[in-house]
Structure 1
């Protein structure tokens, strides 16, 4: 423990409309902070439908707001289709603002969406800024293709609002990997607030009551949340059916957001292949990745951090629509020799996929290509938070003394 506080509070916002990435990243940061600082409480506002399926450490909790899902065409709709989207957004906005008023955080960390879903966080940002709360925007190391991100942000005047509200911008990656704002016209005020924190290291939870995990060698296939991961699973199963010499056991995790129809189809298909085991969801992906011989994935941010944290061979088949984030990340990581990559159309060929899986099992570890790569994001975040909370505690103590 670095320091003990009396009543320090951090609020985090995770809009969560597709997949698990935002909530898992917030949860990782929250767990690291409460481990470093006693007396610190972290509250995560999340729209994830399965936010309650994860374990949370003491002094970390979440507030569930009504879920909004992002369709594959990029549009949004309420998870409960009987409720109008605008009504759902109004409820979310109200809960977020009331939570901030009641919780009264020292620091507010917003994940990825600067103003929240459809601007739902902006009123809260304005309120907390007036109260002196430190406002932090956390960005993935890759956001999207520059032309897509630029158009989206210009429509909503996002860059100017970032400059107006935020005190600090954390980039969850090293500066020599990728700049999330590359290709955009970035005001100097925004650049001055940016800090490249590094990737967020993952570890296997220390839990004596955890359920047993697979033993022996296995190839882990994960699609993250699974909402758009069915094709990758089909491709892996097809490769095993095509090539009987693929003898490494494969453990496939479908993900909680995979549509039920696709899930059942894949389970039936996989039963015909003795070397393949399918499970629907596991809330401790860190353990599964740590125990795997190699990983096949779509390459979302969290999976990538886990691959590097546990130094695992990986084959990435990235999503290419509606966002190009995974493609950009996989291309850059492949250039650096950290992973192998197939585009989705290449992975559809069972012969090519089989060859890629065989090559994966004998490729060099990521540490062989980048021995100096460090995952120091959590330590840097902890160091930045410390003086902010100390300043707020000193202010509260001074006010208390003056009042007495």
Structure 2
């Protein structure tokens, strides 16, 4: 079984130094929790390995302040955007058009790079940032000699759609011109996210498969009062951020309404981005069922994941990492729109006997959701072997592998290149 290491241990803080190495992590953060949670895990792991460094996360997440970061990690919040159902974007809060919001974000990112002058930069998923907003900063970083790393989750999208998206935005050229390394947070024998892209010879030697990012129980343990259901074996139902998870929750609630013999009760965590109307409707239905309880946003979801007997989830990257890390039998109900990312990951994980998968027929066009089908899956779930029984070596080696890969740049007590004042002019 995979061990659960407690993160953010209360080690004595090292002396502060303006000459210690610096890391900048960029996360474009549209609408959800996945990117910021992945960046948080990496930042905390780097600080644990190199306590003398400083890490800044640039993020558009509206809930970043809810998360716990280690000493040495801070963040710069840029104006948020959100993804529409058609795949386009719009400002989350500002009464600006998208172009104006992108320009503002780009200026803030550029100024942060000029002032912070990082030695290592990790860009999450988007090689040139949202709508190219990262290009001015990348030009500066390239001239100043920073090590620039592109960090990719195990699955991005189906190859044809990824090619269309990256070719249009100039991302393919950026792989060659800007990046020193491409870290894939997964295993090559599970999935190869860049397979099928043209010009492989230009960046293939930069690609390194690190393994999945293991999650840990947060520390110090908060004095949270969780619902009574958590005092016994229970199923954790999590749609991630919740913005597009109403279908999964409705299907689970309907199963309990239809079949009162489902053995384990369920705790449903809505997520911060579920609409108020949906949450109110679900809360009323949950209140009528003695085997169900609901919870809003839980930034330390790892605590509940660790307590749960098994999990029902949509199957985003971070939830998948938590299922593996806490070794929980899991039923994944992946979304198939607007991306096939979750479906590709879930299908491959089921083939490897890591999880069970169930498609939502209302998304695939095969009809309505049948409560009896979900009820049958919930009956079977507690008997499913945990992921560790698949016996995949190095599956969760991602965080230590990242630290090892960056050790030459971050181990020294002083910065490995000139300070910003003496750097090549930007």
Q: Is the Cα contact below 8 Å between 1:367 and 1:373 reproduced in 2?
A: no
**C-alpha distance in 2, partners of 1:72/1:182?**
27
The partner residue of 2:71 within 58, 61, 65 is 58
Change (3 A) 1:88 1:371: closer
**C-alpha distance in 1, partners of 2:21/2:104?**
27
Change (3 A) 1:210 1:126: farther
The partner residue of 1:8 within 8, 18, 21 is 21
Q: Is the Cα contact below 8 Å between 1:247 and 1:275 reproduced in 2?
A: no
Say which SS state the counterpart of residue 176 (structure 1) adopts.
coil
Q: Is the Cα contact below 8 Å between 1:17 and 1:67 reproduced in 2?
A: yes
1:331 maps to which residue? Answer: 347
CA apart distance, 1:365 = 1.3
1:374 maps to which residue? Answer: 395
Q: Is the Cα contact below 8 Å between 1:70 and 1:77 reproduced in 2?
A: yes
**C-alpha distance in 2, partners of 1:100/1:343?**
43
**C-alpha distance in 2, partners of 1:239/1:390?**
53
1:218 maps to which residue? Answer: 234
Unpaired runs of 5+ residues, structure 2, are 1-10, 363-367
Say which SS state the counterpart of residue 393 (structure 1) adopts.
coil
The partner residue of 1:356 within 377, 383, 394 is 377
Change (3 A) 1:90 1:371: closer
Deviation string 1:217-264 (CA, Å, 9 cap, x unpaired) is 110000000010001000000000010101311000000011111111
The partner residue of 1:87 within 92, 100, 105 is 100
**C-alpha distance in 2, partners of 1:137/1:43?**
16
Return 290-299 or 268-277, whichever deviates more: 268-277
Aligned residue pairs total: 397
Q: Do structure 1's residue 305 and structure 2's residue 318 form an aligned pair?
A: no
**C-alpha distance in 2, partners of 1:390/1:288?**
35
Q: Is the Cα contact below 8 Å between 2:409 and 2:416 reproduced in 1?
A: no
Q: Do structure 1's residue 248 and structure 2's residue 264 form an aligned pair?
A: yes
**C-alpha distance in 2, partners of 1:389/1:361?**
44
**C-alpha distance in 2, partners of 1:104/1:371?**
39
Change (3 A) 1:221 1:302: same
**1:31-46 mapped onto 2 (5 Å cutoff):** 31-46=44-59
2:213 maps to which residue? Answer: 200
Change (3 A) 1:11 1:210: farther
Q: Is the Cα contact below 8 Å between 2:147 and 2:180 reproduced in 1?
A: yes
Say which SS state the counterpart of residue 231 (structure 2) adopts.
coil
2:182 maps to which residue? Answer: 169
Q: Is the Cα contact below 8 Å between 2:131 and 2:169 reproduced in 1?
A: no
Higher relative contact order (CA 8 A, sep 6+): 2
Say which SS state the counterpart of residue 62 (structure 1) adopts.
strand
**C-alpha distance in 1, partners of 2:418/2:60?**
32
CA apart distance, 1:372 = 3.2
Change (3 A) 1:275 1:85: same
**C-alpha distance in 2, partners of 1:10/1:106?**
6
Deviation string 1:275-313 (CA, Å, 9 cap, x unpaired) is 100011101011111110000000000000010011100
1:108 maps to which residue? Answer: 121
1:238 maps to which residue? Answer: 254
Say which SS state the counterpart of residue 51 (structure 2) adopts.
strand
1:147 maps to which residue? Answer: 160
**C-alpha distance in 2, partners of 1:208/1:341?**
32
1:291 maps to which residue? Answer: 307
Change (3 A) 1:42 1:251: same
